[in-house]
Structure 1
Amino acid sequence: MGKLVLLDTRLFAPGADLSGASNKVELSSEIEDKETTNYRSGGWKEVIGGLGSAEIAAEGQWEAGDPSKVDDASWSTLGGLGPYTVCPTDSVVGALAYLVYGLRTDYKVGDQVGEVAPWTGTVKSSSPLVRGQIAHPPGAARTATGAGTALDLGAVALGKRMWAGLHVLSAAGTTPSITARIESDDSAGFASPVTRMTFDAATAPGGQIARTDGLAITDTHWRVAWAITGTTPSFMFAVSLGIR
């Protein structure tokens, strides 16, 4: 991926796609430096890494009146934890994605007369910031049990984890329910898939995060699969995956 102009950045809150109401998204991450300078440091300051943190700051045009709108989504998540996914250049399968489980810490609306009503908000991390890919796109409606496209994300080393964020954006039908899971295999054909994580059953818009247990996984290919039940069910959802 070369240099780019930000034209199609995507922002997913726990149960809402805020991309169409956003015109600025900033993602930052830092590691706290802790000084360890001593008499044998050769006259130079020495530091080691301490606590890590990440933050998403976003803003855009205010809208309300539906759970998918920024005002409704912001009020419902303010003070709560959930998954947030940011994609610099669209959210097709395989697109670059940054995932974090974070706390929605603030929400601000309003401006002077004559201005387009704005909003601003911040999310602060409660998990590592994960760099990965989109495993399921938000624009594909699913009405039956199935599986997504295989991604070659690589093996998971000992002490690392595969992280997954699920954003259920809409649910329709009578008693609809979706249970998503993350599978791995040693090849793209998924001849013998292994379930590594299973999300709780979802019946309405919302978000969940899951991770593996820190043990080594030699499988290199990953995908999301799902089981859907109900009468004429239909779900729109997005899933991001990454190793950290």
Structure 2
Amino acid sequence: MAKMVLKASYLALNGVDRSSWTSKIELSTEVEDKDVTTFASLGWVEILGGLKSGQLAVGFKQDVAASQLDATMWALFGEIVTFEVRLSNAAAGASNPAWTGSVLIKEWKPIAGAVGDAAEMDLTFPTSGAVVRATS
């Protein structure tokens, strides 16, 4: 089994590579569990998978220079945009799958921190629609 250290992961939002400002990427998905237990279950709980959902959590280093991270992300605030994440910034393939879909830019933190902190923010965007795993 191959082991890996995340050194050059890839994040694109709205078709634009945002990796230069990104210090954390976490894509999580889950499915609701629906209880379908009946008397015929003989005292055992039976479940089926229901609706699927996901979240894309991102850590950004802030950049308020003209046309940089803050300006471009502020323009996307409240919008549904596409995303793509990969463990490595190398091309997608069997050993470097890409996960794609859409997210709602639900929050933006133009400033967060205390005296002496790096200007950075942690954000979570809910997925909208299917998340797809591709190897090419």
Common topology (TM > 0.5): yes
Q: 1:75 corresponds to which residue?
A: 74
Q: 1:107 corresponds to which residue?
A: 108
The aligned runs of 1:221-236 (5 Å cut-off) are: none
Long gaps (5+) in structure 2: none
> Equivalents in 2 of 1:50, 1:115: separation in Å?
42
> Equivalents in 2 of 1:65, 1:16: separation in Å?
17
Closer/same/farther in 2, CA of residues 22 and 37 from structure 1, 3 Å limit? same
CA contact (8 A) 2:101 2:131 kept: yes
The aligned runs of 1:59-208 (5 Å cut-off) are: 59-67=59-67, 69-92=68-91, 94=93, 95-108=96-109, 109-133=111-135, 151=136
- Between 1 and 2, higher relative CO (CA 8 Å, sep ≥ 6) is seen in 2
Which string of whole-angstrom CA distances, capped at 9 and with x for unpartnered residues, describes residues 122-145 of structure 1? Answer: 221111110014xxxxxxxxxxxx
Which string of whole-angstrom CA distances, capped at 9 and with x for unpartnered residues, describes residues 160-205 of structure 1? Answer: xxxxxxxxxxxxxxxxxxxxxxxxxxxxxxxxxxxxxxxxxxxxxx
Closer/same/farther in 2, CA of residues 103 and 51 from structure 1, 3 Å limit? same
Aligned CA RMSD, in angstroms, stands at: 1.6
> Equivalents in 2 of 1:2, 1:66: separation in Å?
41
Structure of larger gyration radius: 1
Long gaps (5+) in structure 1: 134-150, 152-244
CA contact (8 A) 2:10 2:86 kept: yes
Which string of whole-angstrom CA distances, capped at 9 and with x for unpartnered residues, describes residues 75-94 of structure 1? Answer: 11111011100011123253
Closer/same/farther in 2, CA of residues 45 and 93 from structure 1, 3 Å limit? closer
Considering fraction of residues, name the structure with more helix: 2
**Identity in percent:** 31
CA contact (8 A) 1:10 1:90 kept: yes
Matched pairs, number: 133
Q: Which runs of 4+ in 1 moved over 3 A?
A: none
> Equivalents in 2 of 1:125, 1:2: separation in Å?
29
CA contact (8 A) 1:15 1:73 kept: no
Return the offset for 1:104. Answer: 1.1
TM-score calculated relative to the size of structure 2: 0.89
Q: 1:157 corresponds to which residue?
A: none
